[in-house]
Amino acid sequence: MVRPLPIGVQDFKEVRDEGYLYVDKSDLIPQILSQKSKVYLYTRPRRFGKSLNLSMLDAFFNIKYPKNNIWFNGLKVSDCRECDEHRNAYPVIYMDFKDLDAPDLDLFLNKLRRKLSKLYGMHGYLEYSEQLDRADKSDYDSVFSRTVDRAGIGYSLKSLSDMLYKHHGKKVIILIDEYDNPIHNAFGNPHHQEILGTMRDILSSALKGNDSLAFGVVTGVMQISKESIFSGLNNLKVNNVLSKDFDELFGFTDEEVEAILEEHGHPERIDEAREWYDGYRFGDTDIYNPWSLLNYVGERFEPKPYWAGTSGNSILEELFEDASPELWGEFRLLSERTSIPYEVKPAITFKDLHTDERNIYSMLVMSGYLTAEVHDDGKSSIRIPNGEMANVFGRYILDRLNIDSPMYVNSLSKAFVKGDVDLVESELYDLFASSAGNAMLNDEHSYQAFVTGMLMFLNGKYSVKSDFEEGNGRYDIRLERRYSDFPNIVIEIKRIPIDSSDEVAEASARKALEQIRQRDYIHGLKGPTLLYGIAFRNKKPTVISERMDVQP
């Protein structure tokens, strides 16, 4: 039976009760119990399963659910006999810090009071508990009625854990989702430091030296430095995208994706899924973006960016706004699917961006725009993980070049596919003349990055690659068709002096075309293929094309 896809469903109990497809991540439970840390911090990109995993922990540990529930039947954790004594045996505080963006501190505090009031309301029986004294109930009432002052907000989770411990006689598990969200939303605003201070008060009081705490689990995108928010918390187990333990428990593995495609009747789509949504490296494991993969299956296997459209890409926008020419040069290499050396700093802060602009790469890795690999020699590098993110970076290249209307890019792309040389020539000139500054066009790589970025519009119909080795050399741009309705496309670019004659330009374009054939850049392609040789005199292109049929 084909199970419905849990797109946007983050409640583990609902997933299990309603029979949604569930990729079993319940191994997280015995691993947490066996490590016996007091506080766990898991950082992964958004929509990589953090909230669903926290909801699973709540369903397993929370004393308010019946111990004989069937949510974990058949899952890996059911084989853990040592886990049974912990099942539905703890009071649980489950708090998320989503949706706390606010233009000023007062609105933030009001939103936070509402969230805390709702959280306290879920434990309304405490109002009538005989184990609580008058001071406890006064604290409860102030939070529940939203009259609590800032000091009380700072101690709100600690106070609730003390009340639950007194009432149940059992230590409390605290689950906190998206702890860093309010801090990121406030960055650059006058109230940023005050919000940072409020979050530090809440987290440190709840997680540091709390005698009512069994253990805590915190999730977020970024690992904000310990000095900024987790100061004095000595028993903190940090797990990020570089960590080798828990590396398979957020996102989908290749084996899990193969099983999903098999269940939905299209196992042959695995190569396309890999190209578009695989490529993340968490610890020692290759990981797919789960949100994108599920949407890809749900949208009848149409490959396109899904994850990137779920929220604003403000980090990339800031990068393009403030990037130096040196950073832009590195970014251009990344957009060409080239790895560049870089050692990721997991515990990064926004102020670190101003001390070294390359620190933004750490933020891009932690937030899922790039991925990092540690090599056998101990050195590390970063790269764009997959076709989805290559598409996103391509679009941002267009934005960086001030190409306002995708209509012109669409027209150029169609001209390349049709083999319309005159239209390719005119559209290229219009786009370069209106969008590319002379300072940018300082070598052939600049033209290559520009054209590659524009042709990212075709990502989905094609696998767009740049500066890869093939045959007996390294091609400039190659578009490998995904469907038989389209031709493959191979492009070689030459840059010649601006005062070159038309004859010289045409000869250079022919030389570029001949280079494609001589160095066998078509190696591995099958079917109809368009070859393009392009010679640029500053912004003016001369284009020559040839069509051929590549036999397997």
Indicate whether 305 belongs to any domain: yes
Q: Is residue 5 included in any domain, yes or no?
A: no
Does residue 496 form part of some domain? yes
Shared domain for 42 and 138, answered yes or no, is yes
Which tokens is 92 given?
């649980």
24 and 148: one domain?
yes
The pair of structure tokens assigned to 102 is 């606010």
63 within a domain of the structure (yes/no): yes
Instruction: Tell me, yes or no, whether 77 and 152 share the same domain.
Output: yes
CATH code (residue 24)? 3.40.50
Same domain, 539 and 443: yes
Residue 225 lies in a domain: yes
Question: Do residue 408 and residue 369 come from a single domain?
Answer: no
Torsion sign over Cα 479, 481, 482, 483: positive
My answer on whether 351 and 477 are in the same domain is no
Chain length of the chain: 552
Residue 393 is assigned to a structural domain of this protein: no
The number of beta carbons lying within 10 Å of the beta carbon of residue 85 is: 8
Q: Are residues 285 and 220 in the same domain?
A: no
Same-domain status, 335 and 294? no
205 and 342 assigned to the same domain: no
- Of 309, 339, 354, which closes a domain? 309
Give dist(CA 378, CA 29) in Å, integer: 31
What pLDDT tens digit does each residue of the chain (552 aa) get?
899 999 999 999 999 999 999 999 999 999 999 998 999 999 999 999 999 999 999 999 999 999 999 999 999 999 999 999 999 999 999 999 998 988 899 999 999 999 999 999 999 999 999 999 999 999 999 999 999 999 999 999 999 999 999 999 999 999 999 999 998 888 778 888 899 999 999 999 999 999 999 999 999 998 887 667 777 777 889 999 999 999 999 999 999 999 999 999 999 999 999 999 999 999 999 999 999 999 999 999 998 889 976 655 555 566 566 677 788 778 777 876 789 999 999 887 666 766 788 888 998 999 899 999 988 888 899 999 998 888 777 666 656 555 544 556 778 888 999 999 999 999 999 888 876 655 557 678 878 877 887 787 786 678 888 878 899 999 999 999 987 889 999 999 999 999 999 999 999 999 999 999 999 999 999 999 999 999 999 999 999 999 999 987
Identify whether residues 305 and 331 lie together within a single domain.
Answer: no
The answer to whether residue 153 is domain-embedded is yes
CA 342/CA 348 separation, integer angstroms: 14
- For 81, residues 6+ apart whose C-beta sits below 8 A from its C-beta are none
Do residues 102 and 199 both lie within one domain?
yes
CA-only gyration radius of the chain, Å: 27
Asked if residue 248 is part of any domain, the answer here is no
Same domain, 370 and 444: no
State the Cα–Cα distance between residues 301 and 6, nearest whole angstrom: 16
Q: Which secondary-structure segment (H or E) carries 138?
A: helix 134-144
The CA-based angle 349-384-538, given to 5 degrees, is 105
Determine the structural domain holding residue 169 and report its residue range: 12-239
Stated pTM of the model: 0.81
Q: Domains in the chain: how many in total?
A: 4
3-state SS string over 403-430? CCCHHHHHHHHHHHHHCCHHHHHHHHHH
Residue after which a domain boundary falls, among 293, 309, 325: 309
Helices in 348-420 by DSSP H: which ranges?
Answer: 352-355, 360-366, 387-400, 406-418
